[in-house]
Amino acid sequence: MDWILHNDEFIQEVDLKISKEDRGYQFGDGIYEVIRVYGGDLYTAKEHIDRFYASAEKVKIVVPYTKDVFHKLMYDLVERNEINNGQVYVQITRGAFMRQHHFPSDTSPVVVAYTKSVERPLELMRNGAHAIFLEDIRWLRCDIKSLNLLGNVMAKQEAYENGCYEAVLHRGEVITEGSSSNMYGIKDGILYTHPATNLILDGITRRTILGLCDELGITVQQTPMTKDQALDMDEFFMSSTTAEIIPLTQIDGNKIGTGERGTLTEKLQKAFEAKLNLGVQI
């Protein structure tokens, strides 16, 4: 059976004991990361670990080990569980204490991490997916990878109930991000995406994509798109650690561009894949 990391111990799931008063469970009082594993290696590990520590700091949780120790624990978990292609999920909560809103003064944070095998969603990468527009009703600190995902969960559910894969969230007319992804439009060869402010998660895949645009000579404008502008784009796509780059070919039933994967989207997907050392799969 797979190993689970609990604080600094590798244990079996049956032995995992989480308090009924864990603040992650009661308040969503914690933060998390998902790190991709390709060929047994943690992909862009440093960026994910840095963001984990940054999210923790923003909510005043102190991670109980150094980044180097944390990295080693993640790596050991992947190795023990013999994960080839998959992901690590890791979260830290403020810990367990008699229920009260303000921070307890003497409790220790609780870390849990586990792994899972995940294949690359190649079909979706090639054929794209459909999305809906939905008002972004989340709080104003979307830069924190918080365990409080109710707004995201409600949005994703709405998309699924409408036969769609993702919700394109907007505050008023302005598109922010997806329920679990970042959003991009391409018009006349220029890539548009929301700037990394408090209104979106500064995606690690997003950073990789912006780096690829630089390498490929694609101009990037980190200015938010309106809904109307999005519908008028030549290409539209989303990104996340697990999804990588998935074309969104329709929003609310409206075709974007040709209604198929766009040429620059494909170019970015191939450049992304080339960095994974997995050979040509897309």
Q: Rule CB under 6 A: say whether 177 interacts with ligand PSZ.
A: yes
Q: Rule CB under 6 A: say whether 180 interacts with ligand PSZ.
A: yes
Rounded CA-CA distance 57/238 in Å is: 28
Size of interface with ligand PSZ, in residues (CB under 6 A): 15
Q: Which range, of 23-31, 155-163, 198-206, 273-281, touches ligand PSZ by CB under 6 A? A: 198-206
Tokens (6 digits) for 87: 């992901």
Q: Taking Cα atoms as reference points, which of 171, 268, 156, 263 lies closest to residue 224? A: 171
Min dist CB 65 to ligand PSZ, Å, is 22
Q: Which residue's structure tokens are 């039933």? A: 253
Between 180 and 249, name the residue whose CB sits nearer to ligand PSZ.
180
Q: Rule CB under 6 A: say whether 194 interacts with ligand PSZ.
A: no
Min dist CB 48 to ligand PSZ, Å, is 7
Q: Which one among 30, 203, 224, 257 touches ligand PSZ, defined by CB under 6 A?
A: 203
Between 115 and 182, name the residue whose CB sits nearer to ligand PSZ.
182
Min dist CB 244 to ligand PSZ, Å, is 9
Q: Which of residues 136-155 bind ligand PSZ (CB under 6 A)?
A: 152
- Residues paired with 220 in a beta bridge: 191
Segment (H or E) for 72: helix 67-80
Annotated catalytic residue within 20, 58, 72, 145: 145
- Residues paired with 34 in a beta bridge: 89
Q: Rule CB under 6 A: say whether 241 interacts with ligand PSZ.
A: yes
Q: Is 145 a catalytic residue?
A: yes
Q: Which residue's structure tokens are 């709080």? A: 139
Rounded CA-CA distance 183/230 in Å is: 10
Q: How far from 214 is each of 157, 203, 205, 240, 267, CA to CA, in Å?
A: 35, 17, 14, 19, 13
Phi, psi of 110 (to 5 degrees): -120, 125
Q: In this structure, how many other beta carbons lie within 10 angstroms of the beta carbon of residue 100?
A: 10
Q: Rule CB under 6 A: say whether 24 interacts with ligand PSZ.
A: no
Min dist CB 149 to ligand PSZ, Å, is 8
Interface residues with ligand PSZ (CB under 6 A) are 34, 152, 177, 180-182, 201, 203-206, 239-242
